Each structure stands twice: as structure tokens, then as C-alpha cells.
Amino acid sequence: MLLQFVYSSRDFVADVCWSSRSSLGVMANRFDEIIQVGWKERMERRLFRYHLGDLQTRILPGPCGYVAQLNIQRGTERRKPQEILSIQQEFNPKQFNFNKINPEEIIFEMMKATEGANESGRMVVLVNVSPLEFGHCLLVPDPSHCLPQVLTKFAIQAGIESVLLSCSPAFRVGFNSLGAFASVNHLHLHGYYLDHELKIESLPAKLLVPEKGFYSLLGFPGGFLFYTDSESVDKVAKAVCQVTDFLVARNIAHNLFFTRGRPPCDLIQKEEDHLSGKGVRIAVWPRVSIFGTKEESAFSVALCELAGHLPFKNKKDYELATEKDVTDIIRRYLLSDAEFSVLERQLALHLAL
């Protein structure tokens, strides 16, 4: 019988911070325990394409603090990506999708209880058989609905709430649109643990639309930012969805990353807020679409790479890459400064309506 995890906002973890975190081997709450135990069991049962041990890791010198990891097997043994021709490509039941997986890959399903004991939606959580890092799983909104890889408000909210349910700041969630290195056209998000802080969790941001909490990231390759505490998830999820709907309608590929982080400066009310992990940062990167044959580089530029986590495909690049090398690769996949500025104004006007 499939394990079910029913939660409410009372299960959200009020605050986490790196200075007091538990190691990943310590189960601190039921959400993390279900993922970690279930993931380890399936690794032991050899349901993955390769065994993921402790990955070689180094922090690249420089202000961006990129976290580089050597993960050769993900580059060589992952499932061949589907042919993607459009960001709005329709779901094709003949192609691989998550209704065709080995049922043993499913860890559990999660549902949020609403008033009257009704359930708001079903999210199936299964292992990613080509893992990036420890606990790498896929969050799939009811697979039987056969939704294409286009974000919905439910998927965004579930991504935010998954981060809030974890007591570990190491747990992150992300999304690749079609044309932004999504390899399966069936709606899903990625969740995994990375036991390193990322600069994106504390970067300053420029406020663009106060009513929607919409910011532009500063000091990092061009992206936008939202922030929410546990009380404002619904409101922020709607605003994020407004942005992603806007991007999809204009065929602009995009990546998202959800992580615990400090509030933007205008929301900091007291000194301890500078170190707070009460809320969730949601970064959104519009980017150049990649269709057909993908350009080979030292690493693919998708959700985690844009956030500063770099799984390298070969040892030479892993050992020799500098921050400048990484930034040069990443910028090839992002909009130009002029294009980003135009889009920033368009989104600010769109959200202000």
C-alpha cells in the first residue's frame, strides 16, 4: 500500500538555520525521514541507474561561492532527454512519462488537508533514478492528469510548502521548463539535499512590485526573486504563477529554485532576520531556449547550476574551472542585459495590474 503523507500549515517548520542544523543522517521530522529512508532503501535495492556515493565537492574561490561537484555518471548514464520543440509542447502519452515508471520508484504521495478534511491535491514523490545529490526525488502532481511541463499554481505552492515542511536548510526544490533542460514533458519538480549554503539564499535584491513581493536579484546572473513566509504561501504562489504564465505565453524558457533564505532587505525588521531561515526564496531565471541537440559544456545550465550548485561531467573541468569560467558558461544561456531589462519592465507592469 502506498505511503501517504497528509499535512497542514501546522507542520511547517518555523525556522531553520545553518548554524544549528542537524546533519543529513539525523532524522528530525517525519517529512525528511520519509524521503531520506525511502530514498536510501531504493538505492540499496539498486533501483537507480548508478550508485551515488559521497560526491567530490569544492567551493570555487570568488564572490559567487559556486559549489562544484564531480558527478560523471549523471552525465553519461541518465535517460536520453525527449525531443523538445516548444515551451508549450503538448503532453504525448506515447513518450516516456511518469505513468510508465517502475511503481517501486514511488516513495510516497503527499496531500495538504484543508478545512472539512478535504484534500487540496495529490503530489506523488518518486526517486530520480539519475540523482544529482542525496535524496534527489521528483515531485509529480497527480501523474494521471498527464499535464505537460508547464507550472501550475498548485505545483508552485507544493514546491514552496515542501521546503517549509523540511527541517533541513539543505533541502531544495527546483523546476526546468521545456527549452530549459527539462528532459521529460510531464509536469514535475525536483527536490534534493545539498549540505552547503548557496549565495542565492542571502543575496540582496531590488524591489520592483511591492504589492506582489517581486524583486530583481543583485550580484548574481540575471534573475527575479520572490520571498514568502509560512503565512503568505498562497498569495506568493499566485504571483509566481503570473510570472511563469507570462513567460510561457511568450515562449521564454525558465528555471526556478526554491530554498530557505533570508528575507530581502526591505522585509528585515530586526538584526536576527539577517540569519533567519523562516521563509522561502523563489528565484526565477528567464533564459535562452535550447531545443534539439544540446550544446555540450562542462555542466548543463539548469535549475541547480543557476542557483550556484554545479554538477560537473568530467574530472578535468571539475578540477580546473574558475568562477569566471562558470560565469561565462552560464551567461551564454541567459538573456542579454538589454533583453532582461525589457522583460523586467514588462513583468513589473504585468504584475502591477
- Of the candidates 191, 192, 189, 194, the residue with the CA atom closest to the CA atom of residue 170: 194
**36 burial class (0-12, 13-18, 19+ CB within 10 angstroms)?**
buried
CA distance 293 to 42: 32
Residue 134 CA, chain-centre distance (Å), reads 14
Burial class (CB in 10 A: 0-12, 13-18, 19+), 151: buried
Of 77, 263, 98, 92, nearest in space to 190 by CA:
98
Instruction: Give dist(CA 201, CA 63) in Å, integer.
Output: 14
pLDDT digits (tens, 9 = 90+) for 309-353: 999 999 999 999 999 999 999 999 999 999 999 999 999 999 998
Under CATH, domain 4-352 is a member of which superfamily? ATP adenylyltransferase (3.30.428.70)
Distance CA 178, CA 156 (A): 16
Catalytic annotation, pick one of 188, 190, 254, 309: 188
Cα(199)–Cα(306) distance, rounded to whole angstroms?
Answer: 11
CB neighbourhood size of 254 (10 A): 26
Which residues neighbour 153 within 8 Å (Cβ) at sequence distance 6 or greater?
Answer: 237, 238, 241
Which is higher by pLDDT, 79 or 251? 251
Distance CA 237, CA 158 (A): 9
Reported pTM: 0.93
Torsion from C-alpha of 59, 60, 66, 69, nearest 10 degrees: -60
The pLDDT value recorded for residue 121 is 87
User: What is d(CA 82, CA 95) in angstroms, rounded to the nearest whole number?
Assistant: 8
The residue written with cell numbers 510531464 in the block is 186
Q: Which cell goes with 30? A: 517525519
Neighbours of 94 (CB within 10 A): 5
Letter for the amino acid at 208? L
Q: Which of 20-29, 121-130, 257-266 has the lowest mean pLDDT?
A: 20-29
How many C-beta neighbours within 10 Å does residue 104 have? 12
What does the pLDDT read at residue 115?
A: 55
Per-residue pLDDT tens digits for 213-232: 999 999 887 899 999 999 99
Sign of the CA dihedral 334, 335, 341, 342?
Answer: negative
Verify whether residue 136 is a known catalytic residue. Answer: no
- 275 — phi, psi (to 5°)? -110, 5
292-313 confidence digits (pLDDT tens) = 655 567 788 998 999 999 999 9
Q: Which of 200, 194, 189 is closest to 283 using CA atoms?
A: 200
Q: Where are the domains of the chain?
A: 4-352
Instruction: Give the number of other CB atoms < 10 A from CB of residue 308.
Output: 26
pLDDT reported for residue 131: 95
